[in-house]
Amino acid sequence: MSTGYLIGNWSRFYIVDENNRSVAKTEFSGSEQECTEKVRNLRRGVPPPEIITLIEEAGPLVETLVVEDDALARTLQQTTGCTVTVPASPNDMFRRLRLMFFKKGIHSRHPLAVSTAREDKKEADTHPDMRILRLVDMLTMYDESYQFYNNFKETWYENRFSDKESPVIQPDLQQEESIVRNTDGLLEVVSVLRKRTRKALALVLREYSPTLYNVAGLEIAARLIAEAGSLERLATMSAGTIQILGARKAFFRAKHSGSPFPKFGIIFSHPYIQALPSHHRGKMARLLSCQIAIAARADVYTHRDISRQLRLKLKKRFYQLRGIL
Amino acid sequence: MTQVSHTTNPRVFYMLQGRKKVLLTQDASPEYSVYGEQKVEADSHIFRTWDPYRSKLASSILEGLPSIPIREEDTVLYLGAANGTTASHISDIVGSSGVVYCVEFSPVPFGDLIRLAEHRTNIFPILADARDPVQYSFMVGGVDVLYCDLAQPSQCEIVLSNAARFLRSGGHLLQAIKASSIDSSLPPSQVYETAVSELSRGFAIRSTIPLDRYQKKHIMVWGVYAP
Ligand SMILES: C[S@@+](CC[C@H](N)C(=O)[O-])C[C@H]1O[C@@H](n2cnc3c(N)ncnc32)[C@H](O)[C@@H]1O
């Protein structure tokens, strides 16, 4: 009776004893699609039948099984009844075994690797974080193009009619003007697309991070998640970081040159901050970013919409600062 | 007729354009252009130009990395492979018997890595966070070279924990360090010094090459694993 190490590479797995001898060996069976699912499940801590059989086969020879993954260790212990442990720090045994067993001859697993990569990418693309990231990019693009075309149009007219009272288009410019006039149609399309993007964002956010959505509002919630990279990463951030999220440039400028640190980033456009005189905005921003931090954590860890309490607190503070309470 | 010679590494080539040295690798997928690089035909082989402004490994070579420690048939673990610009040249260098495991956690550039892998059977794209090597412990085998270009504050720790799982003793580390991605308020030299001393816990450092001519405030660290 001894210790066994579970090592593997995509679809081929071994249990190896302390003397580097393989005591059992297996290869995933099934179509490429089935094998891909097995690989992806294993990474989530769900072992395919081949791994269970492998452990049973090694059973009489192996007292303790060592694996590298906590989640897998738990499920294996439950399903096989074998004692399964995970080394506290990277165990040199695994490194040496990997070099011994999985250094060459890996090319046969290339198709499986590519198909796993494709499935992983598909899943990542439909993840709410990625959808929010893309929709925020679209929103930014529509905002910028609206402003761009609108500015162009206004400037064009301003330059042609210095006399605002009685606008007259010079005959030579009529053709030009008729093109510019049609910019209106473009602006309309852009604002329709912008509205649809907001609607799509609202659908994702209401489901994915309802507390954050209700506390920060649609655009701030979405932009915070996009800037952090994911809701989960936002939930690990301190209120102080959240307060200046999106003001990266100003932050580093301050750090280098000693100019004042930015007080707000993305949250600056929140109506409670906008509606206050500037000497009160910092105070409001501090509470708002605190509530946002709590909201993001609630959405990630407890999956409960606790926005009612958080909003109440914000509202109170707002009225206090406005001098109404 | 283009004259192509090899550098101190037999798998890395160059040609002269006037007095300028243009780096090349022998193209493993002539029908496919990875990032708009030029193709050059010489000695009945197709070569791809290797742009030092796009790839920190190319600039390291031009800036005096004695010889890049990647050989034909080597197995390489690449952390932060992004679109695969540099990874594709490493794929040329190791050739069809070698392997390049490409770890990248951002799904957008990962799409390009998948396309690259469709044209090159030695590219294994892995969508995962390099901070958590257990995630891919069933996908990566033992490796000869660890290449890291992560732009992460904790990159040295990440390198050490990946080496401890995958890199052979005596294997090589190439790590591109951008000073500002570790700490933008300290002078770069101080950031490099701290990073190198952290890496010394597992590596004998062979050289550090400043890359400023091509990538501002970057260095390439070359080390040999001595666990
Ligand atoms: C500077 S780029 C790499 C460019 C690439 N090495 C080249 O030369 O072609 C850094 C890449 O590392 C990725 N990255 C950063 N942190 C990561 C992590 N913890 N795990 C995996 N990839 C990461 C980023 O998504 C980004 O694509």
> Is the Cβ atom of B56 under 6 angstroms away from ligand 1?
yes
- Of ligand 1's listed atoms, the one at least distance from the Cα of B131 is 19
What spacing in Å lies between the alpha carbon of B210 and ligand 1's midpoint? 20
Residue A323, pLDDT score = 82
A131 and A151 both lie in a single domain: yes
CB contact under 8 A, B114 and A102: no
Chain B positions in Cβ-Cβ contact with residue A98 (cut-off 8 Å): 140-142, 165-166
> Is the Cβ atom of B130 under 6 angstroms away from ligand 1?
yes
Q: What is the ipTM metric for this complex?
A: 0.94
Q: How far apart are CA A73 and CA A82, in angstroms?
A: 10
Query: Could you give the percent of chain B with pLDDT greater than 70?
Result: 100
A178 and A156 both lie in a single domain: yes
CB contact under 8 A, B139 and A9: yes
* Closest among B31, B8, B32, B33 to B21, alpha carbons compared: B8
- Of ligand 1's listed atoms, the one at least distance from the Cα of B86 is 9
The number of folded domains in chain A is: 3
Residue A302 DSSP one-character state: I
Residue B144, pLDDT score = 97
* Residue A310 predicted with pLDDT over 70: yes
> Is the Cβ atom of B223 under 6 angstroms away from ligand 1?
no
Q: How far apart are CA A101 and CA A5, in angstroms?
A: 12
Query: Could you give the percent of chain A with pLDDT greater than 90?
Result: 76
Helix axes A307-322, A278-297, angle to 10 degrees: 170
With contact defined as beta carbons under 8 Å apart, do B222 and B69 qualify?
yes
Of B142, B161, B185, the CB nearest to A98: B142
What spacing in Å lies between the alpha carbon of B79 and ligand 1's midpoint? 7
* Average pLDDT taken over every residue of chain B: 95
- Of ligand 1's listed atoms, the one at least distance from the Cα of B103 is 21
Domain final residue, candidates A125, A149, A171: A125
When pLDDT is averaged across residues A148-161 and rounded to a whole number, the result is 88
Residue whose tokens read 């492998």: A54
pLDDT (tens digit per residue) in A275-284: 999 899 999 9
Q: How far apart are CA A90 and CA A195, in angstroms?
A: 51
Q: What is the separation of C-alpha B222 from the centre of its chain, rounded to a whole number of angstroms?
A: 11
When pLDDT is averaged across residues B37-64 and rounded to a whole number, the result is 94
B136 by Cβ neighbours in 10 Å (0-12 / 13-18 / 19+) ranks as buried
Residue whose tokens read 């100003």: A250
> Is the Cβ atom of B51 under 6 angstroms away from ligand 1?
no
What is the three-class DSSP state of B98?
Answer: coil
Residue A165, pLDDT score = 62
Residue A1, pLDDT score = 58
Chain B positions in Cβ-Cβ contact with residue A130 (cut-off 8 Å): 107
**Band of pLDDT at residue A60, cut at 50, 70 and 90:** confident
> Which strand ranges, in their side-by-side order, compose the sheet holding B75-79?
B123-127, B99-104, B75-79, B143-148, B167-178, B218-225, B203-210
CATH of the domain at A142: 1.10.287
- The CATH class for the domain spanning B5-51 reads alpha beta
Residue A52, pLDDT score = 94
* Residue A255 predicted with pLDDT over 80: no
Q: Select the residue from A27, A107, A230 to test the B interface by mutation, using most B Cβ atoms within 10 A.
A: A107
Top mutation candidate among B106, B132, B181 for ligand 1, by most atoms within 8 Å of CB: B106
When pLDDT is averaged across residues B168-188 and rounded to a whole number, the result is 94
Q: Select the residue from B138, B158, B160, B161 to test the A interface by mutation, using most A Cβ atoms within 10 A.
A: B138
pLDDT (tens digit per residue) in B63-87: 989 888 999 999 999 999 999 999 9
Residues 6+ apart with CB under 8 A from A113: A10, B117, B124, B125, B126, B139
Residue A174, pLDDT score = 85
Residue of A nearest to B122 (CA): A107
Domain final residue, candidates A100, A125, A150: A125
CB contact under 8 A, A42 and B138: yes
Of B114, B184, B227, the CB nearest to A118: B114
Domain final residue, candidates A101, A125, A149: A125
Q: How far apart are CA A113 and CA B73, in angstroms?
A: 19
Residues 6+ apart with CB under 8 A from B172: B69, B70, B144, B145, B146, B222, B223, B224, B225
Q: Select the residue from B104, B137, B144 to test the A interface by mutation, using most A Cβ atoms within 10 A.
A: B137
**Band of pLDDT at residue A61, cut at 50, 70 and 90:** confident
Residues 6+ apart with CB under 8 A from A292: A212, A215, A216, A224, A239, A242, A267
Chain A positions in Cβ-Cβ contact with residue B107 (cut-off 8 Å): 121, 124-125, 130
> Is the Cβ atom of B210 under 6 angstroms away from ligand 1?
no
Q: How far apart are CA B39 and CA A76, in angstroms?
A: 51
Q: pTM, whole model, 2 decimals?
A: 0.86
A222 by Cβ neighbours in 10 Å (0-12 / 13-18 / 19+) ranks as buried
Residue A163, pLDDT score = 62
CATH of the domain at A247: 1.10.246.90
* Closest among B124, B199, B136 to B165, alpha carbons compared: B136
Chain B positions in Cβ-Cβ contact with residue A102 (cut-off 8 Å): 141-142
Q: How far apart are CA B143 and CA A169, in angstroms?
A: 73
* Residue A285 predicted with pLDDT over 60: yes
Residue of B nearest to A38 (CA): B138
Q: How far apart are CA A167 and CA B66, in angstroms?
A: 73
Q: Select the residue from A54, A95, A134, A241 to test the B interface by mutation, using most B Cβ atoms within 10 A.
A: A95
* Average pLDDT taken over every residue of chain A: 91
CB contact under 8 A, A106 and B107: no
Q: How far apart are CA A147 and CA A38, in angstroms?
A: 50
Of A68, A113, A130, the CB nearest to B107: A130
A215 and A325 both lie in a single domain: yes
What spacing in Å lies between the alpha carbon of B40 and ligand 1's midpoint? 29
The dihedral sign for the CA sequence A114, B144, B53, B41: negative
When pLDDT is averaged across residues A143-157 and rounded to a whole number, the result is 92
**Band of pLDDT at residue A167, cut at 50, 70 and 90:** low
* Closest among B154, B150, B182, B156 to B86, alpha carbons compared: B150
With contact defined as beta carbons under 8 Å apart, do B54 and B85 qualify?
yes
CATH of the domain at A91: 3.30.420.220
* Closest among B129, B11, B125, B148 to B69, alpha carbons compared: B11
Q: Phi/psi at A105 (nearest 5 deg)?
A: 70, 25
> Is the Cβ atom of B11 under 6 angstroms away from ligand 1?
no
**Which superfamily does B59-225 belong to?**
Vaccinia Virus protein VP39 (3.40.50.150)
**Structural domain boundaries, residue A116:** 2-125
> Is the Cβ atom of B104 under 6 angstroms away from ligand 1?
yes
Delimiting residues of CATH 3.40.50.150 domain(s) in chain B: 59-225
* Residue A197 predicted with pLDDT over 90: yes
A198 and A256 both lie in a single domain: no
* Closest among B165, B5, B135 to A95, alpha carbons compared: B165
> Is the Cβ atom of B105 under 6 angstroms away from ligand 1?
yes
Residues 6+ apart with CB under 8 A from A169: A160, A177
A12 and A105 both lie in a single domain: yes
**Band of pLDDT at residue A274, cut at 50, 70 and 90:** very high
Of all protein residues, whose CA lies closest to atom 16 belonging to ligand 1? B150
CB contact under 8 A, B135 and A43: yes
Tokens of A187: 């602006």
pLDDT (tens digit per residue) in B207-217: 999 999 999 99
With contact defined as beta carbons under 8 Å apart, do B40 and B30 qualify?
no
A324 and A229 both lie in a single domain: yes
> Is the Cβ atom of B127 under 6 angstroms away from ligand 1?
no
Range with lowest mean pLDDT among A53-62, A223-232, B50-59: A53-62
Tokens of B133: 């090597």
- Of ligand 1's listed atoms, the one at least distance from the Cα of B82 is 27
Residue B173: how many CB atoms within 10 A of its CB?
Answer: 25
Q: How far is B91 from chain A (nearest CA, A)?
A: 13
pLDDT (tens digit per residue) in A73-129: 999 999 888 899 999 888 899 999 999 999 888 999 999 999 999 999 999 999 999
